[in-house]
Amino acid sequence: MPWFVIYTKSRSEKLAAKELQKRGVEVYCPLRKIKRKWSDRFKIVEEPLFRSYCFVNVEENERQVVYGVPGVVGYLNWLKKPAIVKQKEIDLIKDMLNDFDHDSIEIVDFKTAERLRIASGAFIDQEGQVISTQGKTIVLKIESLNICISVDLSKNKVEKLIAMN
């Protein structure tokens, strides 16, 4: 059976997963443990690794079972078809969450106009502004060199620069 990606309301991932499990659906909501500070203490809490997404393992003809579940908006589509995740990718996420310190796991999303510093490769230590993003590739404008470069994030490291206002 394929794993489909469902889109949930904001901060409803765990609720939707729990309700789907009650209905007998195999669901996976990857959670990471992080340390949060309250005014008087620190506490370890679990938050979704992917905001507003869960994975369900159902047959194609059983996909309608998720509708009507509190917190579920619908399926994530890719090229006008429901997005499918392979079992090996689900296993990889599970292994990553089991094998690595959760504080070191972070989903980074680069937005247009953000400032970045290249931390590896031929343009190391160059700073620039994000012009566009597509998958694992970003186009970065480096003002000091007056050029735009394409950076493959699977081969190069970049760091967000904190905006000084």
* Residue predicted with more confidence, 94 or 101: 94
* Residue predicted with more confidence, 64 or 147: 64
DSSP string covering the chain, please? --EEEEEE-TT-HHHHHHHHHHTT-EEE--EEEEEEE-SS-EEEEEEESSTTEEEEE--GGGGGGGTTSTTEEEE-EETTEE-EE-HHHHHHHHHHHHHS-GGG-------TT-EEEE-SSTTTT-EEEEEEEETTEEEEEETTTTEEEEEETTT--EEEPPP--
Residue 66 φ/ψ region, left for φ over 0, alpha for ψ in the -120 to 50 degree band, beta for the rest: alpha
Mean pLDDT of 42-60: 92
Mean pLDDT of 89-103: 80
Name the average pLDDT for the chain: 87
Of all residues in the chain, what percent carry a pLDDT higher than 90? 40
From residue 103, alpha-carbon distances to 45, 90, 118 in Å are 11, 20, 22
Q: What was the pLDDT predicted at 150? A: 87
* Residue predicted with more confidence, 8 or 32: 8
> From CA 7, how far away is CA 74, in angstroms rounded?
5
Which range among 3-7, 25-29, 88-92, 147-151 shows the weakest confidence by mean pLDDT? 147-151
Q: What is the pTM of this model?
A: 0.65
Q: Is the pLDDT of residue 104 over 60?
A: no
Which range among 7-16, 21-30, 133-142 shows the weakest confidence by mean pLDDT? 133-142
Q: Is the pLDDT of residue 59 over 90?
A: yes
Mean pLDDT of 92-96: 87
Q: What was the pLDDT predicted at 105? A: 58
